[in-house]
């Protein structure tokens, strides 16, 4: 039986807390190293090892504790809102898995869960294996930046007080000398069209697209096995977005794995090996990129709607015809589970 683990932070924890050296600190761990609770003990002493996958996410569920905003606080009932529901995905060595889906469908929550970043009101269940090893919140925090690199969706993940050059260099600190890190940072800046003087700027001085490129450079500074990239391209010119995709492809071809969350299906189809179509917190279809050649090859109505929404296809009519559950709204993500 698969081990089921529950993560239940008891006190507020900032998402990616910044450290003074520009790396992300481990999240506050309210359970002093026991952030995950075993539901099952493994008396047989079985080692939790899986082969051939860099990343296995199995039966992931994420819920949030919420108060009903319409009730006065003394009567307010807490309830659980389930956002991710029994989700499983895997990334192999040498592979790019793209996650596409509507806004609010839980893509960022998946990325955050893999990175071991949890909101204080989140309740996370499920199993994550990285490189064959069963992970818990502490281990995920440990491999963050040392095995799994993260390109976060929010540029707020940059340290506002530190010059961006130093921040990027800080990400490579585990390997090489300072001079090598500086050289690599400069190479990456040049590759992504960031002028040398950008290194001396603070995040607030950057445009959105520049900040996103800096985040990308941070992830590429490291030598990870897996890159988790959450919307790495908005605000980038097409040629830079394509360059980022090419870099991911090159990284995967060298044996790495990439989990790429993106709104941009066209870009995803360009580089990914497989596409996982997300709707309302779960994968409704996982398929080879080749299936997106024609809607007949796609099994789920939402995947077909995405196909028709591609610029080279005529999307309007199909959305009307197949106006199933209006795929572009987030209704349906909030499944009320329980009144606490
Ligand atoms: N701390 C939280 N408490 C309650 N609900 C939350 C919390 N964090 C996220 N959510 C909800 O979870 C849902 C999924 O959010 P998520 O950011 O994962 O979506 P997404 O697919 O990444 O969307 P986008 O494409 O816009 O980035 C949203 O409805 C969001 O409001
Ligand atoms: Ni997101």
The share of the chain scoring above pLDDT 70, in percent, equals 73
The predicted structure's pLDDT at residue 108: 94
Tell how far the Cα of 108 is from the centroid of ligand 1, in angstroms.
Answer: 7
ipTM: 0.98
Tell how far the Cα of 239 is from the centroid of ligand 2, in angstroms.
Answer: 23
The predicted structure's pLDDT at residue 311: 79
> 105: Cβ below 6 Å to ligand 1?
yes
Query: What string of DSSP letters covers 152-205?
Result: -S-GGGS-TTS-HHHHHHHHTTTSS-HHHHHHHHHHHHHHTT--GGGGGS-GGG
> 330: Cβ below 6 Å to ligand 1?
yes
For the stretch 162-216, pLDDT in tens is 999 999 998 866 667 889 999 999 999 999 999 999 999 999 999 999 999 999 9
Which residues have a Cβ under 8 Å from the Cβ of 160 and sit 6 or more positions away? Answer: 202, 203, 204
Q: Can you give the CATH number for the domain in which 126 is found? A: 3.40.50.300
For the stretch 94-118, pLDDT in tens is 999 999 998 888 999 999 999 999 8
- Indicate if the pLDDT at residue 238 is higher than 70: yes
What's the pLDDT band for 2 if we cut at 50, 70, 90?
very low
Mutate to test the pocket of ligand 1, among 13, 67, 99, 107 (most ligand atoms within 8 A of CB): 107
Beta bridge partners of residue 335, listed in sequence order: 82
Q: Which one has a higher pLDDT value, 314 or 134?
A: 134
- Copy the structure tokens of residue 280: 């309302």
Among candidate residues 95, 112, 102, 85, the one with its CA nearest the CA of residue 14: 112
For the stretch 243-283, pLDDT in tens is 999 999 999 999 999 999 998 889 999 999 999 999 988 99
* Listed residues: CB within 5 A of ion ligand 2: 107-108, 153
Which residues have a Cβ under 8 Å from the Cβ of 282 and sit 6 or more positions away? Answer: 84, 85, 86, 87, 106
What's the pLDDT band for 326 if we cut at 50, 70, 90?
very low
Identify the domain containing residue 117 by its residue range: 5-339
For the stretch 39-82, pLDDT in tens is 333 333 333 443 468 999 999 999 998 877 676 666 667 788 89
The predicted structure's pLDDT at residue 129: 95
Mutate to test the pocket of ligand 1, among 16, 83, 120, 332 (most ligand atoms within 8 A of CB): 83
- Count CB atoms within 10 A of the CB of residue 121: 15
Tell how far the Cα of 147 is from the centroid of ligand 2, in angstroms.
Answer: 22
The predicted structure's pLDDT at residue 76: 65
Alpha carbons 119 and 9: distance in angstroms, whole number: 8
The predicted structure's pLDDT at residue 109: 94
The predicted structure's pLDDT at residue 174: 63
Count of domains forming the chain: 1
The predicted structure's pLDDT at residue 175: 65
Alpha carbons 287 and 128: distance in angstroms, whole number: 21
Average pLDDT along the chain: 78
Residue located nearest, by CA, to atom 7 of ligand 1? 64
The bound ligand whose nearest atom lies closest to the alpha carbon of 263 is 1
Beta bridge partners of residue 276, listed in sequence order: 99, 286
The predicted structure's pLDDT at residue 319: 43
Tell how far the Cα of 293 is from the centroid of ligand 1, in angstroms.
Answer: 30
Tell how far the Cα of 317 is from the centroid of ligand 2, in angstroms.
Answer: 27
* CA atoms lying within 13 Å on the CB side of residue 29: 17
Q: Which one has a higher pLDDT value, 7 or 173?
A: 173
For the stretch 138-149, pLDDT in tens is 999 999 888 999
Residue located nearest, by CA, to atom 30 of ligand 1? 104
What's the pLDDT band for 223 if we cut at 50, 70, 90?
confident
Could you tell me where the DSSP H helices lie in the chain? Answer: 107-114, 137-143, 164-171, 178-191, 208-221, 238-253, 265-271, 301-309, 315-321
């Amino acid at each position: 039986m698969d081990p089921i683990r529950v993560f239940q932070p008891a006190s507020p924890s900032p998402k990616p807390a910044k450290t003074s050296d520009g790396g992300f600190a481990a999240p506050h761990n309210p359970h002093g190293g026991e952030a995950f609770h075993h539901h099952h003990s493994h008396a047989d002493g079985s080692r939790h090892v899986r082969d051939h996958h860099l990343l296995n996410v199995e039966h992931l569920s994420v819920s949030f504790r919420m108060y009903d905003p319409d009730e006065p606080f003394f009567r307010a009932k807490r309830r659980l809102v389930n956002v991710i529901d029994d989700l499983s995905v895997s990334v192999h060595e040498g592979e790019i898995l793209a996650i596409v889906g509507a806004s609010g469908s839980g893509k960022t929550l998946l990325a955050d869960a893999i990175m071991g970043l949890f909101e204080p009101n989140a309740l996370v269940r499920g199993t994550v294996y990285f490189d064959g090893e069963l992970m818990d919140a502490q281990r995920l925090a440990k491999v963050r930046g040392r095995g799994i690199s993260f390109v976060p969706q929010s540029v707020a993940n940059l340290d506002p007080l530190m010059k961006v050059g130093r921040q990027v260099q800080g990400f490579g600190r585990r390997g090489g000398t300072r001079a090598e890190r500086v050289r690599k940072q400069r190479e990456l800046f040049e590759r992504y069209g960031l002028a040398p003087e950008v290194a001396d700027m603070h995040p607030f001085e950057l445009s959105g697209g520049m900040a996103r490129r800096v985040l990308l450079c941070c992830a590429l500074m490291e030598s990870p096995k897996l890159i988790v990239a959450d919307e790495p391209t908005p605000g980038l010119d097409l040629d830079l977005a394509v360059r980022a995709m090419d870099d991911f492809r090159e990284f995967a071809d060298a044996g790495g794995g990439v989990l790429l969350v993106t709104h941009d299906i066209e870009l995803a189809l360009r580089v990914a090996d497989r596409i996982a179509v997300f709707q309302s917190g779960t994968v409704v279809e996982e398929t080879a990129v080749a299936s997106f050649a024609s809607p007949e090859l796609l099994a789920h109505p939402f995947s077909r709607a995405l196909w028709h929404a591609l610029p080279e296809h005529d999307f309007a009519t199909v959305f009307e015809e197949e106006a199933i559950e209006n795929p572009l709204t987030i209704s349906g993500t909030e499944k009320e589970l329980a009144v606490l």
